[in-house]
Amino acid sequence: MTPGQVKRAFKYRFCPTDAQAAELSRTFGCVRKVYNLALAARTEAWARQERVTYSQTSAMLTVWKKTEELAFLSEVSSVPLQQTLRHLQGAFTHFFAKRANYPRFKSKRKSRASAEYTSSAFTFRDGRLKLAKMAGPLDIVWSRPLPEGSVPTTVTVSRDAAGRWFVSMLCDDPTVKPLAATDAAVGIDLGLDHLLTLSTGEKITNPRHERRDRDRLGKAQRSLARKARGDGANRRKARIKVARIHARITDRRRDGLHKLTTRLVRENQTLVIEDLSVRNMVKNHRLARAISDASWAEFRSLLEYKAQWYGREVIAVDRFFPSSKLCSHCGTLQGTMPLSVRRWTCDCGTTHDRDVNAAKNLLAAGLAVTVCGAGVRPQRRTPGGQSATKQKPSQREP
């Protein structure tokens, strides 16, 4: 990876004027309308076993603008409308490649309010950003500077459920460079009592951001539930209050995960984690809330892209690997071990902390993969002494 190849989004809050807020709200509505119209057209064609391309939906957009019913689409910048058609094309590409489900229609209340502008629809000069068909530059809160010499290639404006406005600028970031190689490697066991347990023995506390604000959130949600349904001012205020609490929880959680993943990537060359199926795990209604609050999937996502940026390696060990039940000292595989068991003693006399032992086994398995190839696991033996090394499917006896 050479400098200049990493594209990075820099997100800032901004305070629009009343005129800018009205214009952006109209743009968000038009983007959603065009997306839904194009999706409906492609769905009808799909029912006839026909495929509609991006070029065809772009031609449809031109026709829609000329109709009396949809003439309002011409009042906003055309670039965000074209971009939403490209996003729809990408959604269908993922669907046909079986990487995603069939695209869904955008809801006015639930979908993200956003509009994407390419370089032809904005000007950025001397720290001042002006969008097409927008009165004046945006009043951006520059919480951190853009990389020196970087010019945004794409600008995305959005508004969250709490009513906060954001602008995200996609730039080449020449400051992102591979870090100096090191021999350090670490196994990472994800948990709920502790967010992370490292093979070094270090345990990182689970901050439980949602639990800390649960009383405030519950009170706000009960207040919202008592408001009459509809578009009344009181219900809108109550809804925004709930959204702000959710936003506070999300921001604190993401900030903590960013700091944690950056530290791990800077300190270690190889990072070994378990390939957890979080989607299936949250089906356990006893643990779903705690698992969602821990945000294991986001932790892995942040860890992987930062490792790619800085020349590190992340290895995901098979989720069925018995990391907790395998003695990291002698390799003996224990029997059933419920979650309530946090410490246990092996037949060899070694007493293990369940999470530290799991992290050590994950590290050993990950290092074995780097040396011997995917699918290889460190040799282990059953209490009876027989080898129980996992074999590849092609090596198993019929």
Q: Kindly list the catalytic residues.
A: 189, 274, 355
| Rounded (5°) CA angle 337-205-184 | 85
Token pair belonging to 95: 């669907």
CA dist., res. 335 & res. 33, Å (int):
57
Query: Contact 355/338 with Cβ under 8 angstroms?
Result: no
Residues 259, 264, 267, 268: what is their CA dihedral angle, to the nearest 10 degrees? Answer: -160
H or E stretch at 18: helix 18-47
CB-count exposure of residue 260 (10 Å: 0-12, 13-18, 19+): middle
SS3 320: coil
Q: What separation, in Å, do the N-terminal and C-terminal C-alpha atoms of the chain show?
A: 45
Query: Contact 29/197 with Cβ under 8 angstroms?
Result: no
Residues 90, 95, 100, 106: what is their CA dihedral angle, to the nearest 10 degrees? Answer: 60
CA dist., res. 121 & res. 56, Å (int):
22
Across the chain, the runs of DSSP E, i.e. the strands, are 7-13, 113-118, 122-125, 128-131, 154-159, 165-172, 185-190, 194-198, 203-205, 270-274, 313-317, 343-345, 351-353
SS3 156: strand
Radius of gyration of the chain measured on its C-alpha atoms? 26
Give which of 339, 268, 300, 295 is closest to 206, Cα–Cα: 295
CA dist., res. 298 & res. 388, Å (int):
34
Please report which residue ranges of 184-295 form alpha helices under DSSP H.
209-212, 214-226, 233-267, 278-281, 288-294
Residues 135, 140, 146, 152: what is their CA dihedral angle, to the nearest 10 degrees? Answer: -30
